[in-house]
Amino acid sequence: MRKILFVLVAVAMLLSACGGAQPTATPTAAPTAAPTTAPAAVPTVAPTATPLPPGSIQINGAGATFPLPVYTEWAYAYQYVDPSVVINYQGIGSGGGKKAIIDGTVDFAGSDSVLKDEEYQAGKDLQMYPILAGAVVVIYNINWAQPFPADAKIPTLVLDRQTLVDIYSAKITKWNDPAILALNPDLGGYLPDASITVVHRSDGSGTTEIFTKALSAFSPEWKTNVGAGASVQWPVDKAGNGVGSKGNQGVAAAVQNTPNSLGYVELSYAVSNKLAYAAMRNKAGKVVQADAASVQSAMADFAGAFDAKLTANIVDAPGEGSWPIVGYTYLILHTTSMEDCLKARKLLEYIRWSLTDQGAGKRAAELGYAVLPPAVRDNVLAKLGEVTCKGQPVLK
Amino acid sequence: MTDVQPQLTVNQAALRARRKATSALMLSLTGVMTLLAVVPLLSIIGYVVYRGGKSLDLSFFTQLPKPLGMEGGGVLHALEGTIVMTTLAAIFATPPGILAAFYSAYHPNTPLGVALRFSTDVLSGVPSIVIGLFGYAVIVVPARHYSGLAGGAALAILMLPTIIRTAEEMLKMVPHSLREASLALGAPEWKTALSVVFPAALNGIITGFLLAVARAAGETAPLLFTALGNERYDVGMIIRNGVAQNQSVLQIIGRIVDQPVDSLPLTLWKYAQQPYPERIEQSWAIALVLMILVLALNIFARLWVESRKRRLQG
C-alpha cells in the first residue's frame, strides 16, 4: 500500500513541479526541432528573391586553434557581406574538429593535421581545403655570458637545419657548442657555457606535427629514429634536458620562465608575447626570418605538389627565401552529403570570400598568417566548385 | 599536611602553567592554520579583482565580442548562454533529483535505495569531461549538431548528485513525529510528503540547489563537447527575428536553446589560450564576473535560508 502511495506522490510531484518541461522529452525534441525550423524556410524563400532575415542561417564549424583568431575575425566581418549568415567557429583542437566532421555534428571543420586513411573512410566524402599557412618558429631565452654594450642591438640567434635536429636529439646540449658558435659569430663570447633546456609540447598538436615533419625532412636519421606526428618520443626527454608543456601558450611561458631554454611555437605566439625567435638557414643555404613573405615563398615552392586529396607537405622548401618549418591549415567539408543546400551554398560562398576578398587576406596577413599564393588558391577554388548537394553543384 | 599542601600547589601551578602553555600553543597553531586556509581564497579573490577589474565596464555586459584590435566588445553571448544553460540544467535536474531524494530518504534500506545512493556517489566522482563526452554521444551525435540543450543536459547530470544528496539529508532531518502527526490527523502519505515534509525541508533543499547551480555555472569541461560555444549568440536578435517572422513562443525558445551556445567559463578557457594580450585581459575580467556570480549565489542562498528561518521562528 505504501509503495503504491509513494508512486502516486512521485507522479503527482513530477506533474506539478516540472509541468510541460519534462526532461524525458528533450532528447527526442532536439532532432525534430532542427528540420522543422531550418528547411521550412527554404522552399518558401527562393534563392534570389527577397533577402533572408539577418542571422537566419547558422553555420557551425570547429577544430584547430591555430587559425582561430583570423577565422573569428572573418566571421565577424562576413556579417557585413551577407547579413543572413552567422558563421560560428570554435577552437576545440584539430583532433576534435576531425571527429566532429566525421560524426557530422558540424558543418565544417578546421585542422592543421591531415586526415588519415581510416578517417577518410569513416567520414565517407571528406575533402580538405588549404586555407592559410603558418610558420613554426624556435623561441629562445638565453642568459648571456656577458652584458651587451648598452647601445648595441642584440643579434638574432641563427640556427641551421642540422643544428636544430641535433639540439632536439640532445646531441648539442650546450649553448656555446661549436656548431652554434659557427653559425653565430656575432654572439661569440656571449653564448653561455650552460646546458640547453629544450621545451616541447606535452599534448598532441598540429604544431608538433609540422615541427617534427620539418625535422624529419632535415635529417633522415630523425625520420627513422623519431619520425613525425602530433606527439612523438622526444630524444631530449631520454637525455634529461627536455621539458614538456601544454599548448603554444604553455611552451611560450616555459621558455620565458626558464633561463637558457628553447622551444617551438606558432609565429603569432612568439610575436604577441614579444619573444626572441631564431632565424634559420634554409635548404638553399640562405638565412631567413619567419614572416608572411618567407611562408608564402615556401607555399609557392610547393604549388605543384598537391596530391589528389589537395594536401601537401610544405616543410624544408628549396626556395632561397623560404622559411623551412611551414604548414597549411585546412578546412574539411563533406563534399556530397550536405543536406541543407541553402546552407551549403552560403558556406561555400563564405569560404570563397575568405580566399578571394582582399580585405580578408590583408587582415590575415596582419595577424601573422600567410594567404595562399594565386596558383594554390585557384586549385582550392576549383576543388570547391566540385562540391555537390543532392546531386547538384552548390556553387554555380 | 602542611608539608604536602605547598608541594601540591606547586605541582598544580606547574600543571596549570603547562596546560595554559599547551592551550595557547595549540590555539595559535589553529589560528595560523585557519589563516593559511583562508589566504588562498583571499589571494585568489584579490588577484582576480586586480587583474580583471581593469577591463570591466558596462559594454562588457551588453556587447558581443569585437574582433581583435577593435575597441570595446563584451561577453554578452557568454552571459546569456550561461543563464540559458544553467536554467535548462535546473529544469532538467531538479524534479528527478528531489523525487529520487524522497525515495532514498523514505526507503533507505531497500535494494533500489542502496543502489541509488551508491550510484549518486559514483556519479559525483565522475570527471566532468566524461559527462561531456556522454552528452556528445547521446545527444549531439544523434541530433547532428551541438546545442545549448545538450549543454544543459550535461550540466544537469553534473548537478544531480549534489541535489539528491543535500535534499535527502534535509528530508531525513525532518522529525519523524511531524510525519506521524500528519498521518494521525488522517492526511494521506502523499499529502504529508507534499505539504508537511517537503516545506519543512525546503530551506536545505534550496541551499543545495543553489550550490549545485553555482557549480554548474562554473563548469567548462562538460560544455566543450555539447554546447561548443558561439561568439555570435544573441538572444535579443533571435527574439526580434522570431517576432518579425511571426514565430510562436515555442519556436523562438527552440531557436534559443537548439543551437551552439557559449558560456562564461567556456569563453574564459578559449580566451586564455589565445596569444593576444587583449583576450588575456578579457579572460581575467570573465574570471572576475564568474567569481562574483558564484559568490553571489552562495551568499544569496545563505541569506535566504537565514531570513526564512527567522520567519518560521518568529
Q: What pLDDT digit, counting tens, does each position of A349-377 carry?
A: 999 999 999 999 998 988 878 999 898 89
pLDDT at res. A11: 44
Give the range with max mean pLDDT: A111-115, B51-55, B131-135.
B131-135
Per CB-CB distance under 8 Å, the chain B contacts of A272 are: 275-277
The answer to the question of residue A316 being in a domain is no
- Classify strands A370-371 and A126-141 as parallel, antiparallel or unpaired: antiparallel
Instruction: Say what percent of chain A tops pLDDT 70.
Output: 87
Q: Rounded to two decimals, what is the model's pTM?
A: 0.82
Do residues A120 and A156 share a domain?
Answer: no
Task: Say what percent of chain B tops pLDDT 90.
Answer: 72
Q: What is the pLDDT of residue A42?
A: 38
Residue A26 lies in a domain: yes
Chain B contact for A10, CB < 8 A?
yes
Asked if A124 and A141 sit in the same domain, the reply is no
Is A13 in contact with B98 (Cβ distance < 8 A)? yes
Does B106 sit within 8 Å of A68, measured CB to CB?
no
Residues A14 and A94 in one domain: yes
A153-191 residue pLDDT tens: 889 999 999 999 999 999 999 999 999 999 999 998 899
Question: Is the CB of A17 inside 8 Å of chain B's CB atoms?
Answer: yes
pLDDT tens-digit readout, A2-30? 444 444 444 444 444 443 333 333 333 33
Residues A253 and A207 placed together within one structural domain of the fold: yes
Q: Are residues A67 and A186 in the same domain?
A: no
Give the structural domain span for A230.
136-301
Q: What is the pLDDT of residue B110?
A: 94
Same domain for A142 and A285?
yes
Size of interface A-B (CB pairs under 8 A): 163
Is residue A291 predicted with pLDDT exceeding 50?
yes
Q: Using the beta-carbon criterion (under 8 Å), do A23 and B156 form an inter-chain contact? A: yes
pLDDT of the residue at B20: 94
- Give the per-residue pLDDT at A273: 82
Helix (H) or strand (E) holding A197: strand A197-201
pLDDT tens-digit series, residues A49-91: 567 888 889 999 999 888 888 998 999 999 999 999 999 999 8
Domain B55-313, CATH: 1.10.3720.10
Residues A270 and A382 in one domain: no
Q: Does A167 lie in the same domain as A125? A: no
Judge if A175 and A206 occupy the same domain.
yes
Assess A76–B contact: CB distance below 8 Å, yes or no: yes
Whether residues A292 and A333 share a domain: the answer is no
The β-bridge partners of A239 are none
CATH of the domain at A379: 3.40.190.10
Coil, helix or strand for A141? strand
- Joined together, the cell numbers standing for residue A204 give 598532441
Task: Collapse the DSSP code of B233 into the 3-class scheme (helix H, G, I; strand E, B; otherwise coil) and give the result.
Answer: coil
CB-based contact A54 B144, cutoff 8 Å? no
The β-bridge partners of A334 are A126
Spatial contact of A89 and A68, defined as CB atoms under 8 Å apart: yes
- Comparison of pLDDT for A2 and A265, the residue scoring more: A265
A156 contact B CB<8A: no
Chain B contact for A62 (CB, 8 A cutoff): yes
- Is residue A166 assigned to a domain? yes
Return the C-alpha cell found at B139: 545527444
Domain boundary among A301, A317, A349: A301
pLDDT higher at B54 or A47: B54
Contacting residues of A for B188, CB less than 8 Å apart: 5
B17: phi then psi, degrees, rounded to nearest 5: -60, -45
Q: Is residue A70 in some structural domain? A: yes
Helix (H, G, I), strand (E, B) or coil at B135: helix
Asked whether residue A309 is domain-assigned, the answer is no
Our count of domains for chain A comes to: 2
Higher pLDDT, A190 or B10: A190
Structural element, H or E, at residue A81: helix A68-81
Task: Identify whether residues A242 and A388 lie together within a single domain.
Answer: no
Q: What's the confidence (pLDDT) of residue B193?
A: 92
Average pLDDT over chain B reads 90
Q: Smallest Cβ distance to A9: which of B107, B143, B189?
A: B189
Cβ distance B231 to A72 less than 8 Å, yes or no, reads yes
Backbone angles phi, psi at B305, to 5 degrees: -65, -40
Task: Please state the domain extents for chain B.
Answer: 1-43, 55-313
First and final C-alpha spacing in chain A:
72
Over chain A, what is the mean pLDDT? 86
pLDDT score recorded for residue B204: 87
Residue A139, classed as helix, strand or coil, is strand
Please check the confidence at residue A35 and state whether its pLDDT lies above 50.
no
- State the average pLDDT over residues B108-134: 94
In the predicted structure, residue A221 carries a pLDDT above the cut 70? yes
Question: Considering CB atoms only, which of A23, A60, A103 is closest to B92?
Answer: A23
* Interfacial A residues in 106-135 facing B (CB < 8 Å): 106
CA of A225, closest CA in chain B: separation in Å?
Answer: 32
Q: Residues A223, A364: one domain?
A: no
Chain A contact set for B99 (CB, 8 A): 10, 13-14
Q: What confidence tens digit (pLDDT) does each residue in B204-249 have?
A: 899 899 989 999 999 999 999 999 999 989 999 899 988 988 989 9
Euclidean distance between the first and final Cα of chain B, in Å?
A: 60
Minimum-distance CB partner of A69 among B136, B245, B276: B276
Q: At residue A345, what are phi and psi to the nearest 5 degrees?
A: -65, -45
